Amino acid sequence: MVEMGPVVAALAVACVVALGLRPAQGSRIAARPVGRRAPPWLVGRTDALPLRLRVPVGVGAGLALVIWAGISALAVGAGVLAGGVVTIVLGLLPTAAAAQRQAAMVAALPQACDLLAVCVEAGLPLRSALRAVVGVLDGPLAECLGRVVARVDLGIGEQEAWDEARNEPGLESLGREIRRCLASGAPVASTLRALALEARRDALSAEEVRAKRVGVRSVMPLMLCFLPSFILLGVVPIIGGVIGRLLP
């Protein structure tokens, strides 16, 4: 009978190799794949790990559980369940790179809104103001707004072009309000000023949350550093002294 241990180990190594072979990131303007799509609960968030990478991770987690529990029907069933849970849960969590990208856009959004408002108040149409602002910005916000400019240059209507920003995490308010102004004829400059004020409040709140997380995350490293020292220098000598007094 062939042993299952080497086979399972080989499959785990293959999953690790598959995770390392990540394809290059393509442009967001590229066409969407044609064909049947996976259900939304399996696809997950747009800023989460892609499904093609989550599936190998889930398979690896299931194999690890099977190896740990031993080859049996119950272990295989638990491994399949664990792999599915890991695949779905990873789709609900944004990646670290996506979180950093969203934080950078939230931090740069107030300045971008103010610049757009100044350009619009100076008499420029929104598309020209947006092109001028993209030329002086950098980072992920400039990339997102640059895609809006590119869509307008391709002949797409401005309302539809701003869907690119409305579907971007962190820029939902900007895309929604600009699209509303374009559809109703509301003043864009005053809307941008209000958005800049709101974005500053959001950026300040995000900074406060990150500052509080630093204190919480530092508790475990401090415990790992000081707890052994406390035990060795404070508890062990006391216990040794008591034992020394009790022994003849």
Co-location of 103 and 153 in the same domain: yes
- Residue matched to tokens 């020209």: 128
Domain that holds residue 55: 4-19+39-93
Decide: 206 and 100 in contact? Cβ < 8 Å: no
Higher pLDDT, 171 or 130: 130
Co-location of 66 and 149 in the same domain: no
Co-location of 10 and 86 in the same domain: yes
Which sign, positive or negative, has the C-alpha torsion 186, 192, 197, 203? positive
Co-location of 175 and 75 in the same domain: no
pTM for the full predicted model: 0.55
- Residue matched to tokens 């303007």: 29
pLDDT at 6 over 60: no
Task: Please give the Cα distance from 104 to 176 (Å, whole number).
Answer: 20
Higher pLDDT, 38 or 197: 197
Co-location of 75 and 52 in the same domain: yes
pLDDT at 82 over 50: yes
Question: What is the tally of structural domains in the chain?
Answer: 2
Co-location of 123 and 192 in the same domain: yes
Relative orientation angle of helices 140-153 and 96-121, to the nearest 10 degrees: 60
Tokens of 63: 């194999």
Higher pLDDT, 2 or 132: 132
Decide: 134 and 145 in contact? Cβ < 8 Å: yes
Q: What is the pLDDT of residues 88-105, one digit of tens each?
A: 777 777 667 777 777 788
**11 located within any domain:** yes
Co-location of 203 and 150 in the same domain: yes
Confidence band of 31 (pLDDT split at 50, 70, 90):
very low
**32 located within any domain:** no
Among 50, 140, 64, 55, smallest CA distance to 101 is for 140
**248 located within any domain:** no
Co-location of 120 and 158 in the same domain: yes
**220 located within any domain:** no
Q: What is the average per-residue pLDDT within 109-113? A: 88
Average pLDDT score over the chain: 75
- Residue 45 is predicted with a pLDDT of 65
Co-location of 136 and 71 in the same domain: no
**242 located within any domain:** no
Q: What is the pLDDT of residues 181-206, one digit of tens each?
A: 888 888 888 888 898 888 888 878 87
Co-location of 57 and 148 in the same domain: no
Task: Please give the Cα distance from 136 to 150 (Å, whole number).
Answer: 16
Tokens of 82: 């664990």
